[in-house]
């Protein structure tokens, strides 16, 4: 419930009122005022909703009641209600951001942020399986030449693999952001609203031009439906599901193409810092989960750099 009186805001700003739900709403208002993306706002809203549900079970209604016991209980509750380690970690991050923000706003006395003592749950750094190149070829084989959806879907599959873009970024590309000659594509609003450049190789550029020749609409976005409407992430998922059924393979996730991009770029010798920039990551640490290296990869790496074979 939003604070709706000057007196209520005064109590909040002076720290006299630490009612949890009121401050949670104020935090979300602040996130909107910071012009955060819709996805980020949704993330905070959903994760903090989990926190309030747990607090309800513990009769925790005020922020000063949130101590180390509450935080540890929350993490155990998440695990017990079926959340995987990644989901528990995400919920923890949202609560930590909220409590840090409240402490900066109020500067409370005789209260210590429990997230300083309760650390984030560990997330197993198991590599995640990308889509295989054989499955990519199977998907492409279902795309008929000379038909709008066939040419479009072929271009989509190649562009997903060649850019490594996130699904939301991919669907948001405008025609004005694409250079069909050089293959440069400007992602205007990546994660955290950070722009970056991605690229298409010769094969993907040629297919993109074939798709664009089939278009008769005047929509300013790059990817459209047969009716000329913008293709949504939901529509993109449906397209991939349909192609997978025709190819007789398991439906790949859209993010699987991003993982395949990362792994195959690394295998071709692209340095990890350039790859980080292409993928729009804030650090190389995040790349570790994408890079599912096989024994063959590590064997080749040793053959390339063996100090005994190379130096002695």
Q: φ, ψ for residue 143 (rounded to 5)?
A: -90, 110
pLDDT band, residue 15 (cuts 50/70/90)? very low
Count of beta carbons in the 10 Å neighbourhood of residue 243: 23
Q: Is residue 126 part of a domain?
A: no
Kindly state the average pLDDT of the residues 199-225: 96
The predicted-structure confidence for 81-107, as pLDDT tens digits, reads as follows 999 998 999 999 999 999 999 999 998
Do 271 and 144 share a structural domain? yes
**Residue 288 pLDDT > 50, yes or no?**
yes
* Owning domain of residue 75: 6-116
Q: What is the 3-state secondary structure (H, E, C) of the chain?
A: CCCCCHHHHHHHHCCCCCEHHHHHHHHHHHHHHCCCCHHHHHHHHHHHHHHHHHHHHCCCCEHHHCCHHHHHHHHHHHHHCCCCHHHHHHHHHHHHHHHHHHHHHHCCCCCCCHHHCCCCCCCCCCCCCCCCHHHHHHHHCCCCCCCHHHHHHHHHHHHHHHHCCCHHHHHCCEHHHECCCCCEEEECCCHHHCCEEEECCHHHHHHHHHHHHHCCCCCCECCECCCCCECCHHHHHHHHHHHHHHHCCCCCCHHHHHHHHHHHHHHCCCCHHHHHHHHCCCCHHHHHHCCCCCHHHHHHHHHHHCHHHHHC
How confident is the model at residue 81, as a pLDDT? 95
As a whole-number percent, the residues of the chain with pLDDT over 90 amount to: 66
The predicted-structure confidence for 255-284, as pLDDT tens digits, reads as follows 999 999 988 888 888 888 888 889 888 777
Q: Is residue 124 part of a domain?
A: no
Mean of the per-residue pLDDT values of the chain: 88
The predicted-structure confidence for 175-189, as pLDDT tens digits, reads as follows 999 999 999 999 987
Look at residues 60, 85, 116 and tell me which one is the last residue of a structural domain: 116
Q: Is residue 42 part of a domain?
A: yes
CATH number of the domain enclosing 185: 1.10.443.10
The predicted-structure confidence for 122-170, as pLDDT tens digits, reads as follows 877 666 678 999 999 999 999 999 999 999 999 999 999 999 999 999 9
The predicted-structure confidence for 105-124, as pLDDT tens digits, reads as follows 998 888 899 999 999 998 77
Q: Is residue 69 part of a domain?
A: yes
Highest mean pLDDT among 16-20, 86-90, 140-144, 306-310: 140-144
Q: Which residue has the higher pLDDT, 306 or 14?
A: 306
**Residue 37 pLDDT > 60, yes or no?**
yes
pLDDT band, residue 1 (cuts 50/70/90)? very low
**Residue 14 pLDDT > 50, yes or no?**
no
Instruction: Copy the structure tokens of residue 86.
Output: 């990644």
CATH number of the domain enclosing 57: 1.10.150.130
Instruction: Copy the structure tokens of residue 228.
Output: 């000329």
Q: What's the domain count of the chain?
A: 2
Do 145 and 102 share a structural domain? no
Q: Is residue 1 part of a domain?
A: no
Do 105 and 11 share a structural domain? yes
Q: Is residue 216 part of a domain?
A: yes
Q: Is residue 142 part of a domain?
A: yes
pLDDT band, residue 303 (cuts 50/70/90)? confident
Q: What is the 3-state secondary structure (H, E, C) of 236-256?
A: HHHHHHHHHHHHCCCCCCHHH
How far is 138 from 130, CA to CA, in rounded Å?
A: 15
How confident is the model at residue 143, as a pLDDT? 97
Do 55 and 10 share a structural domain? yes
Q: Is residue 66 part of a domain?
A: yes
- Contacts of 227-233 spanning 24+ positions with Cβ under 8 A: 230/171, 231/171, 232/171, 233/167, 233/168, 233/171
Do 217 and 86 share a structural domain? no
How confident is the model at residue 289, as a pLDDT? 66
Look at residues 116, 143, 161 and tell me which one is the last residue of a structural domain: 116
Do 145 and 86 share a structural domain? no
Do 278 and 165 share a structural domain? yes
Do 57 and 158 share a structural domain? no
How far is 186 from 172, CA to CA, in rounded Å?
A: 10
Do 206 and 137 share a structural domain? yes
How confident is the model at residue 307, as a pLDDT? 77
Q: φ, ψ for residue 199 (rounded to 5)?
A: -140, 155
How confident is the model at residue 124, as a pLDDT? 73
Do 110 and 12 share a structural domain? yes
How confident is the model at residue 103, as a pLDDT? 93
Do 198 and 57 share a structural domain? no
Look at residues 116, 142, 176 and tell me which one is the last residue of a structural domain: 116
Do 263 and 153 share a structural domain? yes
How confident is the model at residue 254, as a pLDDT? 93
């Amino acid at each position: 419930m939003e604070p709706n009186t000057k007196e209520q805001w005064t109590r909040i700003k002076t720290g006299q009122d630490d009612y949890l739900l009121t401050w949670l709403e104020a935090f979300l208002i602040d996130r909107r005022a910071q012009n955060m993306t819709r996805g980020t706002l949704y993330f905070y809203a959903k994760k903090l909703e989990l926190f309030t549900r747990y607090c309800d079970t513990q009769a925790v209604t005020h922020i000063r009641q949130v101590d180390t016991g509450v935080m540890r209980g929350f993490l155990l509750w998440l695990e017990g209600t079926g959340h995987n380690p990644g989901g528990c970690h995400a919920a923890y991050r949202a609560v930590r951001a909220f409590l840090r923000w409240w402490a900066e706003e109020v500067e409370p006395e005789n209260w210590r942020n429990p997230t300083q003592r309760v650390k984030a749950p560990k997330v197993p750094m198991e590599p995640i399986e990308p889509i295989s190149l054989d499955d990519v070829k199977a998907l492409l084989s279902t795309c008929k030449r000379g038909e709008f959806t066939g040419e479009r879907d072929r271009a989509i599959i190649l562009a997903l693999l060649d850019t490594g873009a996130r699904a939301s970024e991919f669907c948001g590309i405008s025609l004005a952001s694409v250079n069909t000659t050089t293959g440069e594509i400007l992602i205007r609003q990546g994660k955290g609203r950070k722009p970056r450049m991605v690229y298409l190789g010769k094969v993907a550029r040629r297919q993109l031009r074939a798709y664009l020749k089939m278009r008769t609409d005047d929509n300013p976005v790059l990817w459209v439906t047969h009716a000329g409407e913008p293709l949504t992430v939901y529509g993109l998922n449906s397209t991939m599901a349909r192609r997978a059924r025709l190819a007789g393979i398991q439906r790949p996730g859209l993010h699987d193409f991003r993982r395949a991009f990362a792994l195959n770029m690394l295998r071709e010798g692209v340095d990890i810092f350039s790859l980080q920039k292409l993928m729009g990551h804030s650090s190389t640490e995040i790349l570790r989960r994408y890079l599912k290296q096989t024994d063959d990869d590590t064997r080749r790496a040793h053959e390339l750099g063996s100090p005994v074979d190379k130096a002695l």
